[in-house]
Amino acid sequence: MSESSVKRLFAELLFQNKLTAFGFVFSSFFLVLAFIEGVFRGRLAPYNPYAFNLLQANLPPSFSHFFGTNFEGQDIFSRVLAALPIDMGLPLAVVFVASLIGLLSGSIAAFFGGLLDEVIARLTDIFLAFPTIIMALAIAATLGPSLFNAFLALLFVWWPPYVRLVRGRALEVVSQDFIAASKALNTRFYYILLRGIIPNVLPSVIVYATMDVGTALLSLSTLGYLGLISPNTPELGQMVSSISNNLYTYPWEALLPAAIVFLMVLSFSFLGDGLRELLDVKVRPHIFIREKVEDV
């Protein structure tokens, strides 16, 4: 498929599938907003998200405070804006690093096989035997409440599915004739890895990673909700947790953070599902058939 064909099919998929369009629009919106807020450091927020003002505690939504204030008098809308770089950046970093680990480890295991493949496969199975969120909670609780420790805890349990996914796809690629021919010609390993294996497994990783961002975001919010992130750090899960005891009295304090988490998880899930239709060979045979007919 040519580059223009891929662009045309992506645009067609985006505009014909309303759920994919929803995911693309909202995920792009949150990414851009998080980037701007992270770069300009609170320029978008109408109030200082860290400043206390107990005289304005628990105010309902109004023109001066769009979504009210919390029990410390902090503007909720400003806190949510300050939380976006964290709640978008950290899950993206976890997924990116985990996918790199999976690409390298899975490809190396499939290429060399033997004892190395067996060790990597069994180590991955051991990690996958434990519930991901339980392990992350235990590690974060052991390391202490901080964003960096939350990143380490999530990353520690996030790489195994990528290794298993890449290894499975890479085993199929390694069995192909062009890999055997490359080995026979004594082609260097890194060249086969970069030009032969990774390009063939990358589409599956992109699809899985896109859908996995929402899961990582939800896991980060869970850590924040359970108090495993520094107390005054603006994080959506922690913001929901801070009002849990007075949820029925001041429901607006949890409404916006919870809605943002819901929309971000949903948008990345829909976007990932749309990318799966475009990139995954197993679900797009009709695309190749139509492309061949058009080329003829």
| Residue 41: other Cβ atoms inside 10 A | 10
Cβ 221 vs Cβ 235: under 8 Å: yes
Q: In this predicted structure, what is the pLDDT of residue 179?
A: 83
How far apart are alpha carbons 100 and 125 in whole angstroms?
Answer: 18
Instruction: Say if residue 242 is exposed, middle or buried (CB neighbours under 10 Å; 0-12, 13-18, 19+).
Output: buried
Q: Which residues contact 98 (CB under 8 A, 6 or more apart)?
A: 155, 158, 159, 162
| Percent of the chain topping pLDDT 90 | 45
Token pair of 213 as six digits? 């961002």
Q: Residue 226, SS3?
A: coil
Cβ 98 vs Cβ 163: under 8 Å: no
What is the tens place of the pLDDT at every residue in 214-263? 999 999 999 999 989 887 788 999 888 887 777 788 888 888 889 999 99
How far apart are alpha carbons 224 and 242 in whole angstroms?
Answer: 10
Determine which helix (DSSP H) or strand (DSSP E) holds 96, and give its type and residue range. helix 76-112
> In this structure, which topology does domain 3-46+84-295 adopt according to CATH?
MetI-like fold (1.10.3720)
- What ranges do the domains of the chain cover? 3-46+84-295
Cβ 277 vs Cβ 211: under 8 Å: no
Average pLDDT in the chain: 85
Token pair of 136 as six digits? 């992350």
Q: Which residue has the higher pLDDT, 148 or 9?
A: 148
Mean pLDDT computed over 102-119: 92
What is the tens place of the pLDDT at every residue in 131-167? 999 999 999 999 999 999 999 999 999 999 999 999 9
Q: How sure is the predictor about 58, in pLDDT bands with cuts at 50, 70 and 90? A: confident
DSSP string, 10-58: HHHHHHH-HHHHHHHHHHHHHHHHHHHHHHHTSSS-SS-TT---GGGTT
Q: In this predicted structure, what is the pLDDT of residue 4?
A: 62
Q: Residue 69, SS3?
A: strand
What is the tens place of the pLDDT at every residue in 260-296? 999 999 999 998 888 887 775 444 444 333 343 344 3
Q: How sure is the predictor about 185, in pLDDT bands with cuts at 50, 70 and 90? A: confident
| Residue 112: other Cβ atoms inside 10 A | 13
- Least confident range of 19-23, 120-124, 145-149: 19-23
Cβ 128 vs Cβ 164: under 8 Å: yes
Distance of CA 206 to the CA centre of its chain: 11
